[in-house]
Amino acid sequence: MELGIRGKRAIVCASSQGLGRGCAFALAEAGVSLVINGREPAQLDRTADEIRRATGVEVIPVIADIADPAGQAALLAACPRPDILINNNGGPPFRDFRLLDRTAMVDGLTMNMLAPIELIQKVIDGMAARGFGRIVNITSISVKMPLAGLDLSSGARAGLTAFVAGIARTVAGRNVTINNLLPGYFDTRRLREGFAASAHRSGESESALAAREMASIPAGRFGNTGEFGQTCAFLCSLHAGYITAQNILLDGGLFPAAF
pLDDT per residue, tens digit, the chain (259 aa), is 899 999 999 999 999 999 999 999 999 999 999 999 999 999 999 999 999 999 999 999 999 999 999 999 999 999 999 999 999 998 888 889 999 999 999 999 999 999 999 999 999 999 999 999 999 999 999 999 998 889 999 999 999 999 999 999 999 999 999 999 999 999 988 888 888 878 778 888 888 888 999 999 999 999 999 999 999 999 999 999 999 999 999 999 999 999 8
- Residue 158 phi/psi, 5° resolution? -65, -35
Q: Return the H-helix or E-strand segment holding 54.
A: helix 41-55
Q: Tell me if 84 sits within 8 A of 27, measured CB to CB.
A: yes
**What long-range pairs does 214-221 form, CB within 8 A, spacing at least 24?**
214/185, 216/254, 217/184, 217/185, 217/251, 217/252, 217/253, 217/254, 218/252, 218/253, 218/254, 219/252, 219/253, 220/252, 221/252
Quick one: how far is CA 185 from the chain centroid?
14
- Residue 115 phi/psi, 5° resolution? -60, -45
What's the CA gap between 213 and 230, in Å, rounded? 24
Residue among 94, 41, 152, 93 at smallest CA distance from 17: 41
pLDDT value, residue 216? 94
Torsion of CA 12, 219, 54, 139, to 10 degrees: 0
For the chain, the helix, strand and coil percentages under 3-state DSSP, each to the nearest 5: 50, 15, 35
Please count the other Cβ atoms lying within 10 Å of the Cβ belonging to residue 143. Answer: 21
Q: Tell me if 216 sits within 8 A of 141, measured CB to CB.
A: no
